Chain A
Amino acid sequence: MNNILKEKDFIRRIEEISNQKIYDCYQCGRCTAGCPFAKFMDVPPNQVIRFIQLGLKDDVLAASGPWFCAACLVCQTRCPRGVDIPRLMEAVRMIHLRAKEGLIDVDKIDKEFLLDAPPLALMSAFSKYTY
């Protein structure tokens, strides 16, 4: 019973942050098919969504998929069910970041790159990867 409550809690939290209905997804896989970065992910977008539907919190939070999402919105454009998948990926990232678990340590970024990269690359990455 406790576990079921935890699962429902997790699903509700994702739905609140993303403002998406998680069961709208019927797993056609079109998001993953068009995702330019799916090949770098251990768990691709449609499977991340499946894990959320099943309330598999630990598996979702361990997946690299959401961190590889560049918010390019190709999947959002093509989803036949109107699911805004990048918002779901952001919700997973937000659960990490709000628990103070960032992906990158700003001090460890290569100095040469820091001087060379345009500010919007860094600002974007910091907003997605740091808390």
Chain B
Amino acid sequence: MSALLEAERVSFAYAGRPAIRAVTLTVGEGEMLAIAGANGSGKSTLLGLLSGLRRPSAGSVRLAGRNLREYDRRALARAIAVVPQETAIAFPYRVAEMVLIGRAPYLRGIGLERAHDVAAAERAMARTGVLDLADRPLAELSGGERQRVIVARALAQEPRVLLLDEPTTFLDLRHAIEILDLVVDLNRHERLTVVAVLHDLTVAAMYFPRLVFLRAGCLAVDGAPAEVITEATIREVFDADVEVRTDADGVPTVRPRRRGG
């Protein structure tokens, strides 16, 4: 597996307060990686550094061997797509319109889509199961449908890397599972490289073969769920008292230990 996205000793600070400290992380082509950590541990910041949204104050991030700084924004948007936690949409866009915005990095001039742009958007919508919703206003959709539209927009960018920032936070269980199943499917069948920030460790362990924990902006552990999710590491990284059980498939499950219970 060749390295596609590499962070080398990257650091980042908000107004002098360090958020990410000298993190080194290599994501292989076609790999699937989840990032977890306590609130404020720098997960979203690291994702922003990987997407090129934020510029590291030290160190570098490379995509296919080239420093992200050497890419122009449009070229980067054709290689890396981001699915945010939630998208606030102030205007009455329809589903197809929102997905077609994903073609923006491919358009020139006044920006009318050509046939292959429309085809790419359609493929993305078929893949995420929102083709039937094409003419519906986005505001009328449920949270799960909306997030699928946003994933479709990201796929319309035809990226090599898909970054997801807690994509299931505002979704109920069924819709969360739908999104995660979809991501796994995209990874398996289209060899899309996936990096996701996730809150739920059990879910991360179920869906992702590799897990990285951040603590106070540093990389704490990196490995397969069964190696990483232990009572000791969780106490250290999250400062939480939990019980870890391993089910028949070898997937670790995290249960909180109630105080005084």
A and B: partners?
A: no
Binding site for B on A (CB under 8 A): none
